[in-house]
């Protein structure tokens, strides 16, 4: 035999050895790909996601097919074939792990029908088992579909509510609802089970001072699967006329009042210009405070802490009313406009400030333009805010009773003279406190409608610690506003 023949035999032998090696590897892979459902896919609605994880660490993935079967009809969610980097490679396909995410019923592809259905997932690897077919893994998962929204029934009607006014809504919602409440434009008022009647829910609502009279007031319920029920209430909004005021801003005021706020607020830097400094505080910081106030709202407890009318600071004179439209004039030019969403009440310097009603202190600290501020939670989203205090005599988480002294009036924050700035908030929306100060309004519009019991007759409720999470409306963290004290 010649040299060429030897080379040929050697070559053939090497190829044979390699083919045998590949064959052993490919036949040796007897493990089908692993398949995991990462999301519960048991009760499925329009927004229920399907998330799948597949692994095959031997010969790799060859194909994936996902189908949904219902009433003997089959709908393909995906059919994928994965590449192999060569026929004669020992480890087969390129893909070892694969994640697939889809929201099957989000689009129009699969009809939304009642009744049970199955999810069928088939994966295959690059093994040569089963006459080169590969190892299969087929997963069949039964699920039920839900495409009906929660059922709603409105139980109450209401006289027209003025802009800035408050009200109450009673309704029934089916038990599949995971969240429900009242939507007025961008404002949302969560509903709660009625504390004394287990056949209904209720929600306090507040019409924002600037809501259009055509703004619908809607009851909204969601089931967490993407089904939403909406019902427009017959509640109407009455327009109000708010006052307009001009406020002159001097360099002296900026130096004396705005600069100390900047000095105590790390987020706001000295702009090096009096007007810019004024705007950074009056505009930017004010907007940040409103966001902070929304997070305080989430700490409200589902319990009635208050009783009877709220009280206005005794002997006080009203210096500014709710929703006064303020134009700020600096060097004879209007440089900013803001709406004053509270009452400015003045008596004498360092006058003792009383709690407007009973509740739990959820905030007692320096709060930018509001200066030293106390916020009391009265329950079910209702909170009162006391600003510009010279001293604070209560601590966070402390219980206060109606008319208890909580501090003294002052000029901290953005205040020209000694006064109390008082705001009343419903789920973070500023409301006109005049209604809540009115004994007749409290009785006929709120207490009688609720069947509100005197405190000693109210059923004991489990009180949550103020800063603990509770349901979807209660975030776990008590975020403090910028402060250096």
- Site residues (CB under 5 A) for Zn ion? 344, 421
**Residues 303 and 405 sit within 8 Å (Cβ to Cβ):** no
Tell me whether residue 61 or residue 420 sits nearer to Zn ion (CB atom): 420
Smallest separation (angstroms) from Zn ion to the CB of 112: 52
Structural contact between residues 311 and 354, judged by C-beta atoms closer than 8 angstroms: yes
Q: Give min distance, CB of 238 to Zn ion, in A.
A: 24
Count CB neighbours of 97 within 10 A: 13
Query: Closest separation between CB of residue 320 and Zn ion, Å?
Result: 6
In angstroms, rounded to a whole number, what is the distance separating the alpha carbons of residues 350 and 328?
A: 27
Distance in Å, CB of 268 to Zn ion, minimum: 19
DSSP string computed for 169-234:
EEEEE-TT-SEEEEEETTEEEE-EE-SS-TT-EEEEEE--TT--TT--EEEEEE-SSS-EEEEE-S
For the CB of residue 97, give the shortest distance to Zn ion in the complex, in Å. 60
Instruction: Determine contact, residues 281/369, Cβ cutoff 8 Å.
Output: yes
Q: Which is nearer to Zn ion, 37 or 318 (CB)?
A: 318
User: Closest-CB residue for Zn ion?
Assistant: 421
| Category of 297 on φ-ψ map: left (φ > 0), alpha (ψ -120 to 50) or beta | alpha
Residue 437, Cβ neighbours under 10 Å: how many?
Answer: 17
Residue 49 half-sphere exposure toward CB, CA atoms < 13 A? 8
Which residue lies nearer to Zn ion by CB, 180 or 421? Answer: 421
Closer CB to Zn ion, 307 or 324, in the complex: 324
| Pairing between β-strand 391-392 and β-strand 405-408 as defined by DSSP bridges | antiparallel
Q: Which is nearer to Zn ion, 194 or 286 (CB)?
A: 286
Task: Name which of 96 and 325 has its Cβ closer to Zn ion.
Answer: 325
* Beta carbon of residue 319, minimum distance to Zn ion (angstroms, whole number): 8
Of 344 and 435, the one with the shorter C-beta distance to Zn ion is: 344
Q: How far is the CB of 342 from Zn ion (least distance, A)?
A: 5
- Distance separating alpha carbons of residues 4 and 272, to the nearest angstrom: 91
Work out the number of other CB atoms within 10 angstroms of the CB of residue 49.
Answer: 15
Residue closer to Zn ion by CB (options 185, 321) is 321
- Name the residue nearer to Zn ion (CB basis): 146 or 421: 421
Provide, rounded to whole angstroms, the least separation between the CB of residue 414 and Zn ion: 8
Q: Are 330 and 275 in contact (CB under 8 A)?
A: yes
Q: How far is the CB of 247 from Zn ion (least distance, A)?
A: 11
Element (H, E) at 23: helix 3-28
Min CB(421)–Zn ion separation in Å = 3
289 or 421: CB nearest Zn ion: 421
Nearer to Zn ion, 146 or 340 (CB): 340
State in angstroms the smallest separation of the CB of 439 from Zn ion: 25
Query: Please, what is the minimum distance in Å from the beta carbon of residue 450 to Zn ion?
Result: 30
Comparing CB distances to Zn ion, the nearer of 222 and 344 is: 344
Residues ≥6 apart with Cβ < 8 Å to 479: 292, 295
Looking at the Cβ atoms of 129 and 421, the one nearer to Zn ion is 421
C-alpha–C-alpha distance, residues 92 and 26, integer Å: 8
Neighbours of 255 (CB within 10 A): 12
324 strand-pairing partners: 340
CB of 374 to Zn ion, least distance (A): 15
In this structure, are residues 367 and 264 in contact, taking their beta carbons and an 8 Å threshold?
no
Q: Exposed/middle/buried for 400, CB within 10 Å: 0-12, 13-18, 19+?
A: buried
Burial class (CB in 10 A: 0-12, 13-18, 19+), 334: exposed
Report in angstroms the alpha-carbon separations of 119 from 32, 78, 100, 253. 19, 12, 14, 69
- H or E element in which residue 449 lies: helix 448-450
d(CA 164, CA 33): 62
């Amino acid at each position: 035999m010649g040299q060429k023949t030897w080379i040929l035999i050697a070559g053939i032998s090497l190829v044979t050895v390699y083919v045998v090696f590949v064959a052993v590897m490919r036949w040796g892979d007897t493990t089908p790909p692993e398949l995991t459902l990462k999301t519960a896919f048991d009760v499925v609605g329009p927004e229920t996601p399907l998330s799948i994880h597949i692994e095959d660490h031997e010969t790799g993935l060859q194909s994936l097919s996902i189908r949904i079967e219902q009433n003997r009809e089959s709908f393909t969610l995906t059919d994928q074939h994965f590449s192999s980097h060569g026929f004669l490679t020992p480890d087969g396909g390129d893909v070892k792990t694969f994640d697939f995410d889809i929201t099957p019923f989000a689009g129009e592809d699969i009809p939304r029908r009642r009744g049970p259905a199955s999810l069928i997932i088939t994966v295959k690897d690059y093994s040569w088992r089963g006459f080169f077919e590969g190892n299969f893994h087929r997963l069949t998962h039964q699920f039920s579909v839900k495409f009906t929204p929660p059922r709603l029934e409105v139980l109450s009607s209401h006289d027209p509510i003025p802009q800035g006014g408050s009200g109450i809504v009673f309704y029934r919602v089916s038990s599949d609802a995971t969240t429900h409440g009242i939507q007025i434009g961008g404002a949302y008022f969560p509903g709660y089970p009625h504390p004394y009647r287990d056949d209904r829910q209720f929600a306090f609502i507040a019409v924002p001072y600037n809501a259009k009279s055509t703004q619908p007031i809607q009851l909204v319920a969601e089931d967490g699967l993407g089904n939403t029920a909406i019902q427009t209430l017959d509640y109407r909004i009455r327009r109000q006329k708010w006052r307009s005021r001009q406020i002159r801003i001097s360099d002296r005021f900026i130096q004396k009042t705005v600069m100390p706020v900047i000095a105590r607020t790390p987020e706001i830097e000295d702009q090096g210009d009096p007007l810019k400094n004024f705007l950074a505080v009056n505009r930017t910081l004010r907007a940040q405070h409103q966001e902070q106030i929304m997070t305080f709202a989430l700490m409200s407890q589902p319990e009635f802490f208050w009783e009877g009318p709220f009280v206005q600071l005794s002997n006080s004179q009203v210096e500014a009313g709710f929703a006064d439209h303020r134009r700020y004039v600096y060097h004879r030019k209007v440089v900013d406009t803001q709406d004053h969403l509270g009452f400015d009440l003045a008596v004498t310097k360092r006058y003792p400030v009383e709690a407007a009603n009973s509740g739990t202190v959820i905030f007692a600290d320096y709060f930018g333009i509001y200066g030293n501020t106390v916020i009391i939670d009265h329950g079910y989203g209702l909170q009162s805010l006391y600003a510009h205090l010279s001293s604070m005599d209560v601590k966070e988480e402390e219980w206060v009773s109606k008319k208890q002294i909580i501090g003294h009036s002052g000029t901290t924050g953005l205040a020209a003279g000694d006064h109390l700035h008082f705001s009343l908030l419903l789920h973070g929306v500023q409301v006109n406190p005049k209604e809540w100060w009115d004994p007749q309004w409290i009785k006929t519009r709120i207490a009688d409608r609720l069947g509100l019991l005197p405190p000693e007759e109210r059923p004991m409720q489990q009180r949550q610690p103020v800063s603990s999470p509770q349901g979807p409306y209660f975030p776990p963290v008590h975020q403090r506003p910028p402060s250096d004290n």
